């Protein structure tokens, strides 16, 4: 049994937006040691429940679940995959990280590489960044004309609905941190030798574009966040709370599916197992 139940409705678009969600929020948990202990216990419970549901989800075989993780640099995408998704059977999970597009990818439409990465039914797919980069970084850096990236909102909505018709379900998550938290994490990458490999000079350039990215995300939420594919804006300044929220969202997404154990393809009453 959980110590506390997180109400995800306040974090969902279109009800929620970046101004409406406090990145330092900890929901039902106080920020003291007892609160963090309760959150850790709940995360363990959610991880166990997630594993049980994944087994049924895999056996059912009629659905795919797509978890999209978006955030500013140092927003915590890797840590979320590592901690909030722990306990899942790796055989049933497919993680794809979307970097700058290759020459081959640029020779196709912007959704080509994303469609190729969509997992088959019975699998949980995790997108570390996603097709939304093509209305975010592309917009902020002016990589294509505005008339091009503006048309992409409609393409994205149609693409996501196409996959829903094919049995996929979307869980779109924005990991919400503030400028002060991002600064702290970027300093850690500069000061901690074990984090040096994660630092990129481009992170500082993007930090200077903070307001531009907030505007880009706001429009993306507004244009693509209606049902049945709303965005979940997760308070992510405190990693321990972020992990509980994302784990809760995955569990609720799986529980919302009409999952069932498949019927055997043969008459099992004809078989016995000798001692």
pLDDT tens sequence across 17-60: 899 999 999 999 999 999 999 999 999 999 999 999 999 999 99
Contacts of 108 (CB under 8 A, 6+ apart): none
The per-residue pLDDT for range 61-76, each reduced to its tens digit, is 999 999 999 999 999 9
Determine the structural domain holding residue 88 and report its residue range. 27-258
In total, how many domains does the chain have? 1
State the Cα–Cα distance between residues 133 and 139, nearest whole angstrom: 9
Mean pLDDT (the chain) is: 95
Q: Please indicate, yes or no, if residue 18 is contained in any of the structural domains.
A: no
Omega cis (within 30) before 228 = yes
Helix (H, G, I), strand (E, B) or coil at 206: helix
pLDDT at 205 over 90: no
Q: Please indicate, yes or no, if residue 234 is contained in any of the structural domains.
A: yes
Q: Please indicate, yes or no, if residue 78 is contained in any of the structural domains.
A: yes
State the Cα–Cα distance between residues 30 and 104, nearest whole angstrom: 49
Sheet arrangement for strand 64-70: 93-97, 124-128, 64-70, 168-176, 231-235
State the Cα–Cα distance between residues 175 and 80, nearest whole angstrom: 9
Q: Please indicate, yes or no, if residue 31 is contained in any of the structural domains.
A: yes
Q: What is the pTM of this model?
A: 0.95
The answer to whether the Cα torsion of 77, 210, 239, 235 is positive or negative is negative
Query: Around Cβ 110, how many Cβ atoms within 10 Å?
Result: 21
Percentage of residues in the chain having pLDDT higher than 90: 88
Q: Please indicate, yes or no, if residue 6 is contained in any of the structural domains.
A: no
């Amino acid at each position: 049994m959980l110590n506390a139940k997180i109400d995800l409705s306040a974090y969902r678009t279109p009800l929620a937006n970046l101004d409406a969600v406090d990145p330092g929020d900890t929901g039902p948990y106080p920020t003291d040691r007892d609160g963090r202990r309760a959150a850790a216990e709940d995360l363990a419970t959610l991880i166990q429940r997630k594993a049980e549901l994944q087994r049924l989800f895999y056996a059912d075989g009629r659905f795919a679940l797509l978890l999209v993780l978006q955030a500013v640099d140092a927003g915590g995408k890797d840590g979320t995959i590592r901690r909030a998704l722990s306990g899942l059977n790796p055989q049933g999970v497919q993680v794809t990280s979307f970097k700058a597009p290759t020459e081959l990818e640029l020779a196709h439409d912007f959704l080509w590489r994303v469609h190729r990465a969509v997992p088959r039914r019975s699998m949980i797919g995790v997108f570390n960044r996603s097709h939304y980069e093509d209305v975010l970084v592309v917009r902020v850096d002016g990589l294509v004309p505005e008339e091009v990236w503006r048309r992409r909102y409609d393409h994205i909505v149609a693409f996501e609905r196409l996959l829903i018709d094919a049995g996929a379900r979307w869980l779109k998550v924005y990991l919400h941190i503030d400028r002060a938290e991002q600064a702290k994490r970027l300093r850690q990458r500069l000061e901690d030798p074990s984090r040096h490999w994660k630092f990129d000079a481009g992170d500082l350039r993007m930090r200077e574009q903070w307001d531009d990215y907030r505007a880009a995300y706001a429009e993306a939420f507004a244009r693509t966040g209606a049902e049945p594919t709303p965005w979940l804006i997760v308070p992510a300044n405190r990693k321990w709370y972020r992990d509980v929220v994302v784990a809760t969202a995955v569990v609720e997404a799986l529980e919302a599916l009409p999952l069932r154990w498949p019927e055997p393809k043969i008459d099992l009453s004809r078989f016995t197992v000798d001692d």
